[in-house]
Amino acid sequence: MKSIIFLLLSVACILSCNPTVEKETTSVVEVKDELSMDIDPEAALAKLGIEIPPVSPPAANYVNVVRTGNLLFLAGKGPKKADGEYIKGKVGADLTQEEGMEAARITAINQLAVLKAELGDLRKVKRIVKVLGMVNAVEGFENQPEVINGFSNLMVEVFGERGKHARAAVGMSSLPRNIAVEVEMIVEVHP
């Protein structure tokens, strides 16, 4: 018991006697935050020539986004093009891997539309936390991560470091209405 108390007191003394430890850690975090806040997502979209489309209403009994605290949970969206048509088909049969990547990029634009509609300003996004990318692929197709990179790459182009996220990229034997990809995500926002 005495050794545990001594250990706890020693750690407390080290931390209180060496304030630079906490200060250095904080300054590294502050620098990272400052760097990531330098990117204006709206300006990045303009530079990329991307216009945010209107948000599609849910296709069934659900909502596009649920907010709990500082987290937004976005329902799955697919690759709906500007003309209202979806990119459909199986990657590896009807679509090439590159066409699948483009479908994932278009899906990213559609999810940005949901964020913009919910927040009013994409600068309110603190971080893209988690992405689940589903690829409608032929049996034996193994490059789901490369396809979903079309989504992930755009998030990083738009948000910089704040766009880097945890991710799963999985293959599906089918997706609703035969769409090529579907992606859902979790986003942390500023209070």
How large is the average pLDDT for residues 119-146? 97
Domain residues for 22?
2-37
How large is the average pLDDT for residues 87-91? 98
Do 139 and 123 share a structural domain? yes
Do 13 and 90 share a structural domain? no
The rounded distance, in Å, linking the Cα atoms of 127 and 71 is: 10
Which stretches of the chain are assigned E, i.e. beta strand? 65-68, 71-77, 125-136, 166-172, 181-189
State phi, psi for 78 to the nearest 5 degrees: -115, -175
Do 151 and 72 share a structural domain? yes
Query: Does residue 101 contact residue 145 with C-beta atoms inside 8 Å?
Result: no
Do 86 and 20 share a structural domain? no
Residue 56 pLDDT grade (very low, low, confident, very high; cuts 50, 70, 90) = confident
pTM of the predicted structure, to 2 decimals:
0.81
Do 91 and 21 share a structural domain? no
The number of distinct structural domains making up the chain is: 2
